Amino acid sequence: MGRDITLFLSVLAPLLLCALQPWIPQFGLCAATLTHSEGQKNFDRHKYDVFVSFCGKDTRTNFTAHLLDAFDRKGIGAYMDNRDLPRGGEIESEIFNAIEKSRIAVIVFSKNYGTSRWCRDELMKIMECKRRFNQRVIPVFYLVSPSKVSEQMGNFAEAVKLAGWHFEPDGCRLETEFIGEIVETIWKILRGESPISTIPLCCQNRVQNARLRSIHLTSRL
């Protein structure tokens, strides 16, 4: 009996192999499709190009409003709470969700940013996304020095050390030009033309005719 079963299986195995051969590539295709789907799911996590964290009473109606408008005109998808925040939604969870779904976070440090609990919560979430998702984080120091912000931020001073921009009006540098430089650099980053490490920390140099000069973070520290 055992010999008969062995003989039967030896005849059946080649027949099954021949019958299933046309379907074998399909199993490989399914596995590849599953892998692609997982990668696509991770890619689709990004809903916005940029999330801008700012202190409303300092910059909502001036600098940040102009920056968001410039992003919009350039075709850069920036999150705007007055447009993208669902009515009746829980503000904090919606904001944190928008941060997670953004490719780049721009932090507009201003006079009262470091003393705002809301801003500090946003910053904490942004730095979490930087660690978890390698989110790109770019600080902008608007009418405030990096050293002053560092004093305010305490444990969050890590963000102050990142490369970014510093703007102080001195009569030779227009705010519109400053915003244009930020927008163009972020546009290049999104297109893969400018690595994050090349973003300069810009400071007003009043000693040399108050002309704007750019230096790398490593040379500043």
Catalytically active residues are 122
Q: Using a CB cutoff of 8 Å and minimum separation of 24, what contacts does 12-15 make?
A: none
Beta-carbon contacts of residue 59 (< 8 Å; ≥ 6 apart): 65, 108, 110, 142
Cα-based torsion angle of the residue sequence 135, 67, 188, 73 in order, rounded to the nearest 10 degrees:
120
Amino acid, res. 77: G
